[in-house]
Amino acid sequence: MTTPTNLLGLDRRGLEHWFAARGEKPFRARQIMPWIYQRNVAAFDQMTDLAKALRTRLEIEATVATPELITEELSADGTRKWVLRLESGNAVETVFIPEADRGTLCISSQVGCAMDCQFCATATQGFSRNLTSAEIIAQVWFAQQALGAVPREGRVISNVVFMGMGEPLANFDNVVTAIRLLLDDLAYGLSKRRVTVSTSGLVPFMDRLRSEVDTALAVSLHAPTDELRDVIVPINRKYPLDELMAACRRYTAERERQMHIVYEYVMLDGVNDGEAEARALARLLAGMPAKVNLIPFNPFPGTRYTRSRPEVTQRFAGILRDKRIITTVRKTRGDDIAAACGQLVGEVKNRQKRRLSDIPVVRQ
């Protein structure tokens, strides 16, 4: 018996092809997408504008499969964290951060991570596998259902960031499919400025992302020199700063994309937070459209790092601002439930001994 297709894993074009392969008209995709994504309906028999025969066929050949909730935690600041079980027995974490003017959903793209950034709890879990496109977008579907959200009717989830578990660009094809659904007016209809992909610096995939979808990028910089970045962001040994910054220039080459990148910089006490590092960062970003987001380090069990003192962070920010670099200091959210930046761990089974050298190189 053929395994039913999880329709959450198909963007509009993929869904049109799926219907066409079964002798159905491609417009069926445009009928079914609003039911799934805008009304959060997973049962085909409830999709009342579809012919009864088609609904019966869909019940046999398709599914809208969503993850199982393991735990839900609510922070004192309103942040919610869900631990979601996948079919493989692994689990990932998804976080919703409510603010006065927005609601941001932080989603995962991999089970674990192979990037080995030592200030990140996910890296300590090892790497198991990439999430499928269905597993990625299912986190959005689940969160919308859990929050009682209806798109465009008092939208609760206004922003989606690929900043959960994993390196999104190391799971490129599945992440791009999910992005297309987030941007599609028949699905979630988010603005391109409200979907952000984080990367530790996979240069060839940054170029591919630029050519395939128009979305914001968060570059996990964390150090202004190769010597320091080689230690705390090991992918730098494969794609050093000169290559990374050249890719950033290419990504923002068009006028309308000039503010599409934010540079993330975690503040590690005595490691990368000195005045010399601030001046070096200003030189690195000189002449580029740049916004820097300074992130207080969020501790986790076993880490050797500590958070920079607030006055040190403000001094660092002041040096950048004096050089006319837009600089913000991120407010820590959800740290009381281990939902803050760098604290997500999930449940990683069947770990692979994947090395940074195993990350594929894509040449343009």
Active site residues: 93, 341
Spatial separation of the C-alpha atoms in residues 61 and 79, rounded to whole Å: 37
The answer to whether the CB of 326 falls within 8 A of the CB of 290 is yes
Residues 6+ apart with CB under 8 A from 51: none
Q: Which residues touch 46 (CB under 8 Å, ≥6 apart)?
A: 35
Whose tokens are 């503010």? That residue is 259
- Could you tell me the maximum CA-CA distance found in the chain, to the nearest angstrom? 69
What sign does the dihedral 313-317-318-319 (CA atoms) show?
Answer: positive
Q: Are 210 and 253 a contacting pair, CB within 8 Å?
A: no
Task: Identify any residues that bridge with 293 across adjacent strands, giving them in sequence order.
Answer: 264, 328
Q: What is the DSSP letter of 347?
A: B
Listing DSSP states for 73-97 in one string gives EE-TTS-EEEEEE-TTS-EEEEEEE
Q: Are 149 and 180 in contact (CB under 8 A)?
A: no
Q: Tokens 């000169």 correspond to what residue?
A: 242
